[in-house]
Amino acid sequence: MFAVPGLGACTGPQSMLDPAGPAARDVAGLWWGMFVVAVVVLLGVTATWLVGMGRRPPTLDDAREKRVVRRWIVLGGVLLPSTCIAVLLAFGIAAGHRMLPLPLAGEAPLRVDVLARQWRWEVRYGGGAALINELRLPAGRPVDVHVRSLDVIHAFWVPRLGGKIDAIPGRTNVVRLQADEAGEYRGQCAEFCGTRHALMVLHVTAMEAGAFAGWLEAASR
Amino acid sequence: MTRPHTPEADRVHADFDAVWGTPPGWRTLTVVNHTTIGLRFMLTGLAFFLVGGLFAMLVRVQLALPGLDVLTPELYNQAFTMHGTVMMFLFAVPVMEGLAVYLLPKMLGARDLVYPRLSAFGYWCYLFGGLILLSSVVLGVAPDTGWFMYTPLSSVPHSPGPNPDFWLIGITFAEISAVSAGVELVVAVLRTRAPGMSLDRMPLYAWYILVMAMMIVVGFPPLILGSILLELERAADFAFFDVTRGGDPVLWQHLFWLFGHPEVYIIFLPAAGIVSTLLPVFAQRPLVAYTPVVLAVLATGFISFALWVHHMFTVGIPQLAQAFFSAASMLVAVPTGVQVFAWLATLWLGRPLWKVPMLWLAGFLFVFVAGGLTGVMLALVPFNWQVHDTQFVVAHLHYVLVGGMFFPLVAGVYYWLPHFSGRMPSARLGRYGFWLVFVGFNLTFLVMHWTGLLGMPRRVYTYEEGLGWDLPNLVSSVGSFVMAIGVATVLVDIALHFRFGRRATPNPWHADTLEWATSLPPGAYNFASLPEIDSRHPLWERDGLADEIAHGKHGLPGIAHGRRETWGVEPLSGRVREIVHLPGNTLLPLVVAVLLAAVCIGLLAKAYLPAAAFALAATVGMLRWSWENGAHPRAAPDATTPPDHPPLHSRTCDGPGLWGMNLTLLADGALYLSLLFSWFYLWTVAPAWQLPAGGAARGGGLLLASAVLLTVASITLRRLVLRLRQGIGAGTAGGLAAVTAAGVASAGLLVFALRDPRLAPTATAHDALVVFILGYNLFHCALAALATALQVARVRAGYVGAGMPYEPLVVARLWYYAAAVAWSSYAALGLFPTAWRAT
Amino acid sequence: MKPSPFHPVQISLGLVVWSVWFVALYAGLAVACERAPQAPGAGGPIALNVGFGLFTLATAGLLALSATACLRALRREPERPPRERFVARVGAAVHLIALAATLFIGVPLLGLPPCV
């Protein structure tokens, strides 16, 4: 975490810190908040330890000592973590709620079916269009990806757009993604699925709405 | 040896050594003493650690640069699977247990653990299970589906080779040692402490071990069940996890993580116990907040069972349910925070010394707190959806496990070295070792968080250039080599100290706990006499206690009767209640473990007939083992006690055996509840749940009949025990024989139920579970009948009778359990489906 | 039936109650969503959340009562030996910890729909 600046920026084709959609942006925001708090807590605790190692305190009477100890345990041991997790949970539940594929008021999300199998992605659209290891999306419109598996468990994941969801035999899981702008994104199977797991890559292209509609129509034929 | 060398102390030592001593030559194989067994656990764990580390280095070499092909994908998959498996199952848990086995009786002021033969048996199972697993590497068929073995990747269609079988069978075999040690440690903490050591005077380490051992008893059975189910699916095509036949692969994940998350705390709690033991010694004052720390340990023990789903946030569980687990996962931060601040406050108020163990504790604090913080992050559902199954998680879990286990362990090893060798560790080489490990570790894993955030999944054998992962991976690989050099330095340091270390003086760190009142290294009997305890810090408050102990000035100083013995006390108050006599050295645990290893090898080779034969032989071996118990002359050569002493435990109604039986049944019950969970889970959640073509609930009526029979038998046995307690021995053998017959009849009914030709366990998960539940009932009927038949023989031999009801009393628990299982199975198989369909 | 506030069972009783509540909550949710799923996205309080919320409050009430019983007993019987007072103190605290855990884990019931 501290070695970060020396190791390059946050960008990268699969970097969740370079978000390109609302879900991924929410998570990146959560990360930076948690990161700052975590660094402060870690440094604080470590510094306390180091100072404590060097201190030669006066001897306290029992009552004083009891008070001091109670303060440490209640403030540091109970209140500090409780506050942190309460705040975190409040943010987390709200963010999680926003990411759920709930019905929308306006335009319905586009539905895309993704079938995972060892070791490739099959992408299907309502009109009969189909792609292998490639996913095309309209930019700026929510897309509900319905993920299934034909053999073992895989996980569908395009980090710059949003979180992952497992592809499990017998189940259909839905994840809602949205790309803000047209562009190329990279996805990869995240659940270990056998020998060529590392090579199970998905190329994602977000297209302008008009271009996407044109492509879909052409491909559906 | 630091023992006082007065003639009297020498004589006492010689007498005790004659009864307790460790024999030379091949007969060391017969040793059951906790000191030797504990050391064997730790040394074997060290060997497995080195093997596991080797796999880690292979992984890091392969990932050092993009597109490397040092390992084929197949070998890489074996390497990371074996690394995780070996470190978790063959290093972390067994070493922590080994240390507890070694230390606990000494800290509690006892001479041995309560079931020495079981300790030895557990060790052999661990060794053989581990060797079976490692043999797969030599044979080139090492498990390669990840250490959590997700189905269907680990099922036959996708893993046709024997690789997963080695994992399932080897690990399950090795886990016998975990569960047996768990049972034994709980009973030891509760029942064999020093007189006067009430619960509130117990060393904190004992609290930690008590909670850890209880967690093992409840936490390991779900995985054992899961492994048995998966192996049955692989070997006999039973349909538990196959979705097309009404099973569900997610069931495996539930069973695995029901075990898997508590396991993290099973590893962490004893390590935290080491911290809470060492830190006050080096801070030169008692740990502050004893009661809050006890509460924190208890809370961690419970809450950690409500976290397992946070490993499954991406499987598509409703978000409200995920939120419960998310909140619970964050909640464990609070008890952990209490402990951390208790440690900090102790340092703050004490006069700490920077000795080598303290260095490792400081490293622990930094690394573990960092891991805890990322743990809280991972508990956050939306964040988890991003980083789950990435290198971020790999970094997190190494921070938690290396920080929360390895660092305290090394601190503890340095601290207790004088115990193992009688010598003090060096000051300089130890520091080099620490800094190399600390820097290497952080170089490897701090950077790995970043790799994960940049999107690199875990378990990939290679990656392309240009994804931004090249440099962080290279740094991690370099760091891992620095860390490996550090570990080697520590090992060299420890090896050298055996030769060059300064001789330890008595209680060299000026510690407060009783294990430093033994000689260094200790005799097999620990204490020549057992002192009464009246505070939490006996060695700080009573000078000369060690000398008094060595001179036989305290309790149970005589050994002329030739029996190994220690005090049995009331769990709460620590008041002496009986003398627990302990078995001596025997080859039987080894023999039984070898036979069981043969069973495992037979199963792996699919040679089922030989496997069955070996299983039969192992059963005979266990019966032979249990024959030398209670009033058997080899269990207590001389059964007389002085008039002012309490009775021998085998002549009471509440010895450690009863506690052991209860805890074993608790473990068994956890397995059974996991089984019922599987049944209800599949009914509710399996995507393609299907009822067999016949439709009728099978075996229901027969289960009911079996339940009635078992209940009648239980009541009869209870009456018999009551009569024995009243001193009426007539008719006992006949009564026990009748009870046995009821068990046999009940088993017969279940065999008949299982032979129903309509049952098709390979066709539906429904029938597979029905068969398994019936089989589970059958096993318990047969076991209860067998144990009771043995009691008939023991009545005839005169080991059980009027005034000696202890053994049938213990066996009765097994009957109650079998009856309860039969009733609830009837409810689950016979009544539940009708009710479910009706609503 | 009710164990004495000084009985060692108090050391874990509160957290056992909490465990049972947690299992019932999780299992109950799974069964409810299987048998009577509620449409997601509907505004206002959802029957399932209300039901589970009441169950949570009832459990919390039980835990609070038990904690109070331990604390009262401690005040009423100061002459008990230290080890027994230790048990009652730990017992009270364990009930309170379980209470806090119950309420904290129950919070998501306020904000999330049950079955999606």
Give the model's pLDDT for residue B2.
67
**What three-state secondary structure class fits B35?**
helix
Q: Which amino acid is at A1?
A: M
Is the pLDDT reported for residue C1 higher than 80? no
Cis peptide before B152 (omega within 30 of 0): yes
**What three-state secondary structure class fits A187?**
strand
Is the pLDDT reported for residue C81 higher than 60? yes
* Regions in chain A scoring below 50 on pLDDT: 1-7
Question: B291 and C93 in contact by Cβ < 8 A?
Answer: yes
Q: What are residue A114's phi and psi, to 5 degrees?
A: -120, 125
Model confidence band, residue B818 (pLDDT cutoffs 50, 70, 90): very high
Question: Burial, A199: exposed, middle or buried (Cβ in 10 Å; 0-12, 13-18, 19+)?
Answer: middle
CA–CA gap between residue C76 and residue B62 (Å, rounded): 68
**What three-state secondary structure class fits B839?**
coil
**For residues A94, A95, A99 and A101, what is the CA-based torsion angle, rounded to 10 degrees?**
-10
**What three-state secondary structure class fits C40?**
coil
Question: C111 and A93 in contact by Cβ < 8 A?
Answer: yes
Per residue in B192-217, pLDDT tens? 999 999 999 999 999 999 999 999 99
- The average confidence (pLDDT) of chain B is 95
Model confidence band, residue C41 (pLDDT cutoffs 50, 70, 90): low
Give the model's pLDDT for residue C43.
53
Give the model's pLDDT for residue B757.
87
Cis peptide before B23 (omega within 30 of 0): no
Residues 400-419 in B contacting A (C-alpha not used; CB under 8 Å): none
CA–CA gap between residue B502 and residue B12 (Å, rounded): 27
Give the model's pLDDT for residue B1.
53
Residue with tokens 């009297």: B8
CA–CA gap between residue B365 and residue B362 (Å, rounded): 5
CA–CA gap between residue B87 and residue C90 (Å, rounded): 35
Q: Which amino acid is at B506?
A: P
In terms of average pLDDT, the best of B10-19, B723-732, B780-789, B800-809 is: B780-789
Question: C105 and B572 in contact by Cβ < 8 A?
Answer: no
Quote the tokens at residue B41: 């656990």
Nearest to B628 by CA among B164, B115, B47: B115
The 10 Å Cβ neighbour count of residue C93 is 22
Q: Is B75 on the interface with A (CB under 8 A)?
A: no
Question: A97 and C111 in contact by Cβ < 8 A?
Answer: yes
In whole angstroms, what separates CA B329 from the centre of its chain? 23
Model confidence band, residue C42 (pLDDT cutoffs 50, 70, 90): low
Nearest to B106 by CA among B549, B648, B571, B656: B549
Question: A198 and B467 in contact by Cβ < 8 A?
Answer: no
Per residue in B78-97, pLDDT tens? 999 999 999 999 999 999 99
Q: Which of B297, B348, B445, B465 to mutate to test the interface with A (most CBs of A within 10 A)?
A: B348
Pairing state between β B576-582 and A134-138:
unpaired
Q: Are B67 and B464 in contact (CB under 8 A)?
A: yes
Q: Which of A70, A84, A91, A97 to mutate to test the interface with C (most CBs of C within 10 A)?
A: A97
Q: How far is B296 from chain C (nearest CA, A)?
A: 9
Question: C111 and A100 in contact by Cβ < 8 A?
Answer: no
Question: Burial, C48: exposed, middle or buried (Cβ in 10 Å; 0-12, 13-18, 19+)?
Answer: buried
Q: How far is C95 from chain B (nearest CA, A)?
A: 10
Residues of C with CB under 8 A from a CB of B: 8, 11-12, 15-16, 18-19, 22, 25-27, 29-31, 33-35, 49, 81-84, 86-87, 89-90, 93-94, 97, 101, 104-105, 107-109, 111-116
Angle formed by the axes of helices B700-725 and B732-754, nearest 10°: 170
CA–CA gap between residue B199 and residue B190 (Å, rounded): 8
User: Which residues of A are less than 8 Å from B461 in CB distance?
Assistant: 197-198
Region B16-35 average pLDDT: 93
Is the pLDDT reported for residue B361 higher than 50? yes
Is the pLDDT reported for residue B700 higher than 90? no
- The set of residues, in sequence order, having a beta carbon less than 8 Å from that of B281 and lying 6+ positions away, is B415, B509, B510, B511, B512
Q: Are B566 and B110 in contact (CB under 8 A)?
A: yes
For C101, name the nearest residue in chain A, comparing CA atoms only.
A82
Nearest to B809 by CA among B673, B596, B658, B631: B658
Question: C116 and A97 in contact by Cβ < 8 A?
Answer: no
Question: B685 and C90 in contact by Cβ < 8 A?
Answer: no
**What three-state secondary structure class fits B422?**
coil
CA–CA gap between residue A30 and residue A24 (Å, rounded): 10
Quote the tokens at residue B393: 């998680």
Torsion sign across C-alpha atoms B429, B433, B434, B436: positive
Residue with tokens 């709690």: B269
Q: Would you say the pTM of this structure is higher than 0.90?
A: yes
How far is the first Cα of chain B from the last one, in angstroms, to the nearest whole number?
Answer: 74
**Could you tell me how many CB contacts below 8 A there are between chain B and chain C?**
93
Per residue in A64-90, pLDDT tens? 999 999 999 999 999 999 999 999 999
- The set of residues, in sequence order, having a beta carbon less than 8 Å from that of B7 and lying 6+ positions away, is none
Q: What are residue B804's phi and psi, to 5 degrees?
A: -125, 65
For B151, name the nearest residue in chain A, comparing CA atoms only.
A152
Region B524-544 average pLDDT: 94
pLDDT above 70 covers what percent of chain B?
99
ipTM of the complex: 0.95
The 10 Å Cβ neighbour count of residue A23 is 22
Alpha-helical regions (H) of B64-112:
73-85, 93-108
Give the model's pLDDT for residue A8.
54
Q: Are B559 and B15 in contact (CB under 8 A)?
A: yes
User: Which residues of C are less than 8 Å from B321 in CB distance?
Assistant: 26, 29-30
Per residue in B745-781, pLDDT tens? 999 999 999 998 889 999 999 999 999 999 999 999 9
CA–CA gap between residue B574 and residue B360 (Å, rounded): 34
CA–CA gap between residue B358 and residue B340 (Å, rounded): 15
Q: Is B705 on the interface with A (CB under 8 A)?
A: no
Model confidence band, residue B695 (pLDDT cutoffs 50, 70, 90): low
Q: Are B339 and B272 in contact (CB under 8 A)?
A: yes
